[in-house]
Amino acid sequence: MNPKNSTPPKSGAARRQFLFDSARMVCGVGLLGLGLGFYAKRAKALPALALRPPGALPEDDFLGACIRCGLCVRDCPYNTLELAKPETPVATGTPYFTARNIPCEMCEDIPCVKACPTKALDHALTDINQAKMGVAVLIDHETCLNFLGLRCDVCYRVCPVIDKAITLEMLPNERTGRHAMFLPTVHSEHCTGCGKCEKSCVLEEAAIRVLPPKLAKGELGHHYRVGWDEQKKAGRSLIDESKMLDLPDRLPEGAQLPGHYDPASGHTAPARGLPGSEAGAIPSLPPGLGGKP
Amino acid sequence: MSQVAHKKRIGAEAVESKGWLRAHKWLILRRLSQFGILGLFLLGPLAGLWIVKGNLNYSHTLGLLPLTDPYVALQALFAGHVPEKLGLIGLAIALAFYLLVGGRVYCSWVCPVNVVTDAAGWLRDRLGIKGASSISRNTRYWILGMTLLGSALSGVVLWELVNPVSMLHRGLIFGMGAAWTVVIAVFLLDLFVMNRGWCGRLCPVGAFYSLVGRWSPLRISAPLRTACNDCMDCFEVCPEPQVIRPALKGEGKGVGPVILAPACTNCGRCIDVCSKEVFTYGLRFNNPASTVTLVKVQPETK
C-alpha cells in the first residue's frame, strides 16, 4: 500500500460519502419540490366560478399571503365562505365562495377582512362598494328571460348597487315589433362581484355569472384615445373639423342604407322606415302581416 | 419461550415497579393536551362556544390571544408577504413559547398527526413489523429548505398545499373532505413502509420546530443515568431514539445527562417507561459532566 495514500483515503471516502448523500437528498427532495412547484402553478389557476372574499389580493399574491387559518370563514355571518378541501380545484385551505350557492351579502363593516391576520385580504378596503370580487357578466343572451322579451328583471332587482352596477337598457323588440326589451346591463366600474344576481337568476343554469375581472373584462390599447372624451376634456375638437374630408362610404354590394347620404355621388338613398319618413319608426303591423316593412 | 421473553412489552418493567398510571403519566398528559387543544377548536363549530377561532396555522382565543404558526408565517415571508399586526403579535408569542419549552413540544403535545403516527408506531410494535425501508432522519431538513426556497420561487405558501398536519387539523374543524386519504397515507407509511417515517424523517414542520427549540431551556435529562440497567425500553419507545444515547451513555466521556439534540420532542415517554426513573424534565443548564454523585443518594432499587 502506498503510505502517501493511507491517510487521505479515509477523509476522501468520508467526503465522497458526504457528497453522495447530499446529492441523493438534493435529487430526491428536488424532485418532490419540482412536483410541488408544478402543483403550485396549477393551484394559481383559480376556477372561474370560485370567488375570493372581498379585498383579496390578486390570485398570485393571495396564495403567498394567505395562511389558511379560516378566520374570515368564521367571521362571515352568512356562511358564505368556505375553506378549500384537498379535492376542490382551489388551493387547499384557502377561502372562497360560489355565488350560485351563497353569494356575498356585502356587510358594511366587512368582518372577513377585519379578521384576516395577513394582508391576503387587504385591510385598506373599508367601503364594501369598492370591493372587486369579480364582475357580473350576462353570459347567455339566448336564455336570459329579459332577452326573450319577458320582464324577469330579478338580477336587476336584487343587485345591492341597483341602477349603477346593473341597469335595464330599453331596446325595441324586433320579434313582436311592438314591445320593448329591457336588457340587464352590467357596468363593471360599480359591480362588486357579490354574486347576488347569479344566485337569484331564475334559470336552471344562471344566465348572469360573476367571473374574475381578468376573464370578464377587455382592455383598450393603452395608446387609445376616445375622440369624444378628449373633445370633452379639451373643450373643443382636437382637429380642425372644417378641413375634415368625408370619404366615400363603401357598402357591401347591393346593400341599401335608407336615408344614407353618399358624399361621393351626392346621392341620398330614400329614407323609408326611418323616423320622419312616411312609414314611421315602428311599423303599424308586424312584418309579414301586410304592413310595410 | 425465549421468543416470548424477547417480545416483552415496552415498559412492562416500569408498569411493574411504578404502577400503570405512573408508567403512563406523561403519555396521558400529552394525549389530554392534544385532544384538549383539538376540543377547544371544535367547541366553536360543534357547540357554538367560540373560545378559539381558526386552526393551528393561526388562531384567535377569546378575542384576545392571537397565535401564528411560525413555519407558515416564514413561508409567507419567503413568498414576499408580511402578516398584519395581529398575525405578527401571534407570531412573536408562539415563537417565544416554543423557544422556551422546546420547539418539538409542538409535535408531541399539540400536533394531531402525532396521534396518528404514534398509533402506527404502536401497531407496528404489536404486529412485530420489522426491517422496512428507511431514509435519513436529515431528509426533513432538506424538505424544510426546499419548502422555503420553493415558497420564494413560486410565491405560494408551498408546504400548505399538501401539509398533512394542517389538512388533518383544518379538516376536523372545517370539514374533512378527501383529507382523510392523506392522513391514512401517513398512517400506512409509518406502519408498513418506514419506522417513524413521517414525524421522524419527512415532516418539515417538525424539522422547523426542532430548529426553533435548538437552545430551549426545557429539556429531558437523565440525571440518574448510572442506574440504567440497559433494558432498552427508552430506545424502543422513543420516536427519535438517536437523541438518547449521548446523554444516557455519556458518563465517563465528559458528556452531561441533558438530551441536547433538538430533534427530541420532549414527549416524556422515556420518563414513563423507565423502571429505574433515570429520566426527568430538567433544564439545559443543569448539565454536569458527571452524575455519579447523584446516584449515591438513590437507594438501591430492585
The DSSP secondary structure of B97-143, one letter per residue, reads HHHHH-TTHIIIII-THHHHHHHHHHHHHHHT--------TTHHHHH
- List all residues 6 or more positions away from A77 whose beta carbon is below 8 Å from its beta carbon: A105, A107, A111
Distance from CA of A21 to the nearest CA of B (A): 9
Q: Does B167 sit within 8 Å of A92, measured CB to CB?
A: yes
**Partner residue facing B76 (CB), from A40, A60, A65:** A65
A207 against A2, higher pLDDT:
A207
Mutate to test the interface with B, among A24, A25, A69, A75 (most CBs of B within 10 A): A69
Q: Which residues of A touch B156 (CB under 8 A)?
A: 40, 43-44, 63-64, 91
Distance from CA of A222 to the nearest CA of B (A): 28
Distance from CA of A126 to the nearest CA of B (A): 16
Average pLDDT, chain A: 85
Residues in B 124-183 with any Cβ partner in A closer than 8 A: 136, 138-139, 142-143, 145-147, 149-151, 153-162, 166-167, 170-171, 173-179, 181-182
pLDDT of B207 reads: 95
A170 against A11, higher pLDDT:
A170
User: pLDDT, tens digit, for every residue of A33-75?
Assistant: 999 999 998 888 888 889 999 999 998 899 999 999 999 999 9
Cβ atoms of A48 and A193 closer than 8 Å = no
User: pLDDT, tens digit, for every residue of A129-155?
Assistant: 999 999 999 999 999 999 999 999 999
**Partner residue facing B84 (CB), from A21, A43, A123:** A123
pLDDT band of A241, cuts 50, 70, 90: confident
Q: How far apart are CA B124 and CA B195, in angstroms?
A: 8
Looking at chain A, which residue has its C-alpha nearest residue B182? A86
* B79 reaches A (C-beta below 8 A): yes
B14-51 burial, b at 16+ Cβ within 10 Å, e below that, comes to bbeebeeeebbebbeebeeebeebbeebeebeeeeeee
pLDDT of A95 reads: 95
**Residue B97 grid cell:** 413559547
Distance from CA of B163 to the nearest CA of A (A): 9
The list of chain B residues with pLDDT below 70 reads 1-7, 131-132, 293-302
Q: How far apart are CA A27 and CA B104, in angstroms?
A: 27
* B84 reaches A (C-beta below 8 A): yes
Residue A242, judged by CB atoms within 10 A of its CB (0-12, 13-18, 19+), counts as exposed
Mutate to test the interface with A, among B85, B165, B170, B176 (most CBs of A within 10 A): B170
Distance from CA of B56 to the nearest CA of A (A): 7
Distance from CA of B72 to the nearest CA of A (A): 6
Cβ atoms of B302 and B18 closer than 8 Å = no
Q: Does B179 sit within 8 Å of A74, measured CB to CB?
A: no
Average pLDDT over residues A1-18: 65
User: pLDDT, tens digit, for every residue of A274-293?
Assistant: 555 444 444 444 555 544 44
Whether the per-residue pLDDT at A253 is higher than 90: the answer is no
Residue B24 C-alpha from the chain's centroid = 16
Q: How far apart are CA A179 and CA A58, in angstroms?
A: 44
Q: How far apart are CA A147 and CA B156, in angstroms?
A: 43
- Rg, C-alpha atoms of chain A: 31
Q: Does B146 sit within 8 Å of A33, measured CB to CB?
A: yes
Q: How far apart are CA B42 and CA B52, in angstroms?
A: 8
Nearest Cα residue to B66 out of A120, A68, A117, A72? A117
Distance from CA of B150 to the nearest CA of A (A): 7
**Residue A235 grid cell:** 373643450
Q: Does A118 sit within 8 Å of B55, measured CB to CB?
A: no
Residues of chain A whose beta carbon is less than 8 angstroms from a beta carbon of chain B are 21, 25-26, 28-30, 32-33, 36-37, 39-41, 43-44, 60-61, 63-71, 73-75, 82-83, 85-88, 91-93, 115-120, 123
Q: Does B72 sit within 8 Å of A67, measured CB to CB?
A: yes
* Phi, psi angles (nearest 5°) of residue B283: -110, 145
Nearest Cα residue to B260 out of B238, B232, B284, B236? B284
Q: Does A83 sit within 8 Å of B174, measured CB to CB?
A: yes
User: pLDDT, tens digit, for every residue of A69-114?
Assistant: 999 999 999 999 999 998 888 999 999 999 999 999 999 999 999 9
Distance from CA of A58 to the nearest CA of B (A): 12
A82-83 β-sheet, strand order: A50-51, A95-98, A82-83
Q: Does B161 sit within 8 Å of A67, measured CB to CB?
A: no
Looking at chain A, which residue has its C-alpha nearest residue B171? A85
**Partner residue facing A86 (CB), from B76, B147, B182:** B182
Looking at chain A, which residue has its C-alpha nearest residue B57? A69
**Residue A277 grid cell:** 319618413
**Partner residue facing B161 (CB), from A61, A71, A91:** A91
Can you point out the beta strands (E) in chain B? 52-55, 58-61, 65-68, 218-221, 280-283
pLDDT of A271 reads: 65
Q: Does B167 sit within 8 Å of A93, measured CB to CB?
A: yes
Average pLDDT over residues A166-181: 92
Q: How far apart are CA A290 and CA A287, in angstroms?
A: 7
What is the interface pTM, i.e. ipTM, of the complex?
A: 0.85
Q: Which residues of B touch A60 (CB under 8 A)?
A: 155
Furthest C-alpha separation in chain A: 119
- Rg, C-alpha atoms of chain B: 20
Distance from CA of A106 to the nearest CA of B (A): 22
**Partner residue facing B55 (CB), from A70, A115, A119:** A70
Number of C-alpha atoms within 13 angstroms, CB side, residue B191?
A: 13
pLDDT band of A186, cuts 50, 70, 90: very high
Q: How far apart are CA B154 and CA B136, in angstroms?
A: 27
- Taking residue B181's Cβ as centre, other Cβ atoms within 10 Å add up to 13
Q: Does B150 sit within 8 Å of A33, measured CB to CB?
A: yes
pLDDT of A288 reads: 52
Cβ atoms of A181 and A171 closer than 8 Å = yes
Residue B257, judged by CB atoms within 10 A of its CB (0-12, 13-18, 19+), counts as buried
Nearest Cα residue to B144 out of A32, A67, A17? A32
Helices and strands in chain B: count of H runs, count of E runs = 16, 5
Cβ atoms of B38 and B165 closer than 8 Å = no
Specify the pTM: 0.82
Q: How far apart are CA B106 and CA A4, in angstroms?
A: 52
* B201 reaches A (C-beta below 8 A): no
